[in-house]
């Protein structure tokens, strides 16, 4: 059996940076409107889901939205790459230590489960010096529905390590109730961390296997991530 740890990015591993403004500016450029960005939460959603909600909120038709997606992602990644050097992400406390500690376990695969499109995930993680820690992942560019992403991540882990990988030996780490829900949908364990916009009480209401204030206490986090697999 190979144990798998699947990390969300925004609010879990890092914070800040220019992504939201880059995203909205790209939407405005491609569709002629920023969409209903003041009324749409980005938390725990895939990039395609966010864009769709922004644009449906101002009356665009689904087909029109779909037609612009290719150009939208191209412009978003361009804006993000241009702006990250002047507005880098902040790596959250405890994250570098935890990722380094996980490398010491030969039977643990460390991957991503994120609503970011793959290119955006790579740019953000590179900005924070974290990209090298992740061998595989599933992304918003793989599927618009977040609940579909655990199966994709587990499948990619199997392509690396074979049938020793199972969903039951995987755990999703995230900062929103949507992260917890998608882990449950995919048959994984879940660890929720209150380093984003949700409190421990709000996260606990989604009934994850574990809830933490942060990822700072490396040994304790490792016990929760790996102790039950």
* 49-53, 94-98, 200-204, 219-223: least confidently modelled range: 49-53
Would you state the torsion angle of the CA atoms of residues 161, 45, 116, 179, taken in this order, to the nearest 10 degrees? -30
Q: What is the pLDDT of residues 77-119, one digit of tens each?
A: 999 999 999 999 999 999 999 999 999 999 999 999 999 999 9
**Nearest-angstrom CA–CA distance, 97 and 80:** 26
pLDDT of residue 44: 82
pLDDT value for 160:
94
> Taking the model in full, what pTM does it have?
0.95
The share of the chain scoring above pLDDT 90, in percent, equals 90
Q: Which of 181, 191, 180, 183 is nearest to 215 (CA)?
A: 191
pLDDT tens by residue, 158-180: 999 998 899 999 999 999 999 99
Backbone φ and ψ for 197, nearest 5 degrees, come out as -105, 0
pLDDT per residue as tens digits for the range 111-163: 999 999 999 999 999 999 999 999 999 999 999 999 999 999 999 999 999 98
- Measured CA to CA, the distance from residue 52 to residue 132 in angstroms comes to 31
Distance CA 67, CA 145 (A): 18
Domains of the chain: 2-16+89-226 (3.40.50.1000), 19-83 (1.10.150.240)
Q: Does position 216 have pLDDT exceeding 90, yes or no?
A: yes
What lies within 8 Å, CB to CB, of 6 at 6+ separation is 111, 112, 113, 137, 138, 150, 153, 170, 171, 172, 173, 183, 188
Q: Mean pLDDT, to the nearest integer, of 196-210?
A: 97
């Amino acid at each position: 059996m190979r144990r798998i740890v699947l990390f969300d990015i925004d609010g879990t591993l890092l914070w800040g940076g220019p992504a939201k403004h880059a995203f909205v500016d790209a939407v405005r450029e491609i569709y002629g409107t920023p969409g209903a960005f003041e009324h749409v939460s980005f938390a725990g959603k895939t990039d395609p889901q966010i864009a769709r909600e922004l644009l449906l909120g101002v009356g665009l038709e689904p087909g029109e939205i779909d037609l612009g997606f290719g150009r939208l992602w191209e412009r978003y990644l361009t804006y993000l790459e241009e702006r990250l050097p002047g507005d880098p992400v902040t790596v959250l406390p405890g994250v570098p230590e935890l990722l380094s500690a996980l490398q010491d376990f030969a039977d643990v695969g460390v991957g991503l489960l994120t609503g970011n499109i793959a290119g955006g995930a790579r740019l953000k993680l590179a900005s924070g010096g974290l990209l090298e820690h992740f061998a595989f992942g599933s992304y918003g560019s793989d599927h618009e529905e977040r609940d579909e992403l655990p199966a994709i991540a587990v499948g990619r882990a199997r392509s690396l390590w074979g049938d020793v990988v199972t969903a039951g030996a995987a755990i999703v780490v995230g900062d929103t109730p949507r992260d917890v829900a998608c882990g449950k949908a995919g048959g994984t364990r879940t660890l929720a961390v209150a380093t984003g916009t949700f409190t421990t009480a709000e996260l606990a209401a989604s009934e994850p296997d574990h809830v933490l204030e942060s990822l700072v206490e490396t040994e304790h986090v490792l016990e929760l991530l790996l102790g039950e697999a």
